[in-house]
Structures are given as C-alpha cells and as structure tokens.
Amino acid sequence: MAANYTLAVEPNYPPAQAEMVYQPLLDYLSASTGHKFKLKTAANYHVYWRDLRAGMKVDFAFEEAHFAGYRMGRLGFTPLVRTAEPTRYSLVADSMIAEEGTAGLIGRPVVSMPSPSMGYLLMLEIYRNPIAAPEIKSVGTGWRDGVEMIFSQETQAAMVPNYIAQLYPNLVVVSESREFVGRTLSAAGTVPSDVQDAVAEAMLKLHEDPGSYEVLVELGASSFVDAPASDYTRSESLLAGVFGYKPRPAAPVVEDEPQPEAIDLDSISDEELGGLEVTAGD
C-alpha cells in the first residue's frame, strides 16, 4: 500500500525554488517505489539546524556529511546513498584578487551561505584566527548567489561547492577545503526496511533515467553510489564549534567485577573450616 514520506533538504535555495528543483526527483521516487514523497524545506540554515537539533520528524534527508553523521549518531538515521563525487568547497575570486592568496582577503567581504552550512564551517578552517579573517557576509539565498555577487562587485570572493566553482572557469580558486564524502540521502529508523531498499535502489539507477538529467546537473552529481555507515562516524565533528551543539555523552565504562580469589581447600584444616568430619556408620 502506498504511503506518504517527507524528504528534508538543506536550504540551498529559497523554498519556492527548492520545490521546482527537487520536484522531478520526488516524481521519480514516487514512480519507482509506488510511494508519495513531499519536500520539507527550511527558510534558512538557522531554522534547519534548530529543527535538526530538536529532532523534528522527517523520513528522509538529503544533505552534506556533517548533518548526515549527526542524524545517524543522534536520531537513528541510516545512510542509503551518496553522490559519486566527494564534497569539497572552494574559495573563489577573480584573477586579480586571487593573486594575493588567502591573506589578500583579510578584512575584505567574502560571501558564504550561513553557519552551519558546510561551506561556512570549512571557511573557518582556512581563517582560524578571527582577527585575521575576511568579513564573512551570509547574504545569499543559494550558493550561486555568491558567484553572481563577485561579478556585480558586491563581494571580493565566495565560498562555494566545487561543483559550482567548476561552472565558472573565469574565476580562480584561492583555497580548497579538505574532502568529505558526497551529499547523502539517509532514512529514519521509522521507515520500513523494504521502503529504504526501494528508495536506495531507485537512487542508484537515477542516472539511467533520461528525465532526471536536469536534476543531476542541478545537484552537481553524475550518479549516486552506496553510502556505508562507517564513512560518517567522525563527520559530525565539524559541527563541534557551532552554537547549540552538544557533544554526545560518553558511553559508560563497564568495569569488570573482580573475581574471587581461588582457595586451596586442601591447605586449610578442619578447625579453620569450622565444619565437622562425619564418617559413614557414625
């Protein structure tokens, strides 16, 4: 019997635009699995992070690895598939600005999506000293906005995912982040296992569907591959410095109870044992 499921996505687009971007994917999943899927969007990253910490109920989520790891460790989600391409973020600028390197952007405006987006957090790894850092402007409603603001001279540089940076060869990469596993589709533990399997199978075949080409292009992915849970055990750590983050309580250490020392009864006299010697026939 067909059931209804929600799919949460990061606020990389304004809600109305997100509906347009993801609707073909929702339609594809519905046709492939026989179930209905509805998009769950957030107005911004502040709301997204608040809802995630509160454990707001969703059935599936498509997001970067630090959020996927948080859901896995805190909310019992299971990673199903991820984009074949790993995630990296690039700090891009025009050639004149890029010549000065990362130091040349200190005190200058740089655009990024707000915290705790992965791009924002990885830019803080480039500029670890807050005194010697750019003026980070979180004014865009999508990753492409930062690039457009470079062209309109509203900013000096922008932090964007690599799949977007690659679309603008006239911009120069000033710095590139460390690598994470690709954006991940995960499922809540409340989703039946057969539905999880059907969704995973459909996503693994997404690149074979001619009608889904534009979806893959928009997502910057060539295809989806399996997502082993072991790939996410440490990805949550990127959130450690974010407002509202609470470390997971350490698992209680179970100490082994001391075993009683073995006693050699042959070396103890009857008087010490406090017993009586009984002989048959007495």
What is the residue extent of each domain of the chain?
4-86+180-239, 89-176
pLDDT value of residue 251: 61
* Domain 4-86+180-239: CATH class, spelled out: alpha beta
- What CATH number does the domain located at 89-176 have? 3.40.190.10
Nearest-angstrom CA–CA distance, 163 and 144: 11
DSSP-derived secondary structure for 1-27? ---EEEEEE-SSS-HHHHHHHHHHHHH
Nearest-angstrom CA–CA distance, 192 and 1: 12
Find out whether 183 and 67 touch, Cβ atoms under 8 Å.
Answer: no
Q: SS3 for 148?
A: helix
* Chain mean pLDDT for the chain: 91
Strand partners, 4: 36
User: Global pTM?
Assistant: 0.87
Nearest-angstrom CA–CA distance, 142 and 97: 23
Nearest-angstrom CA–CA distance, 269 and 160: 83
Task: Encode pLDDT of 22-57 as tens digits.
Answer: 999 999 999 999 999 999 999 999 999 999 999 999
Task: Encode pLDDT of 229-265 as tens digits.
Answer: 999 999 999 999 999 999 987 766 656 666 666 555 5
* Most distant pair of Cα atoms in the chain: their distance: 112
Instruction: Check for a shared fold between 4-86+180-239 and 89-176.
Output: yes
Nearest-angstrom CA–CA distance, 86 and 118: 13
Q: Any idea what the Cα angle at residue 259 is, between residues 253 and 262, rounded to 5°?
A: 165
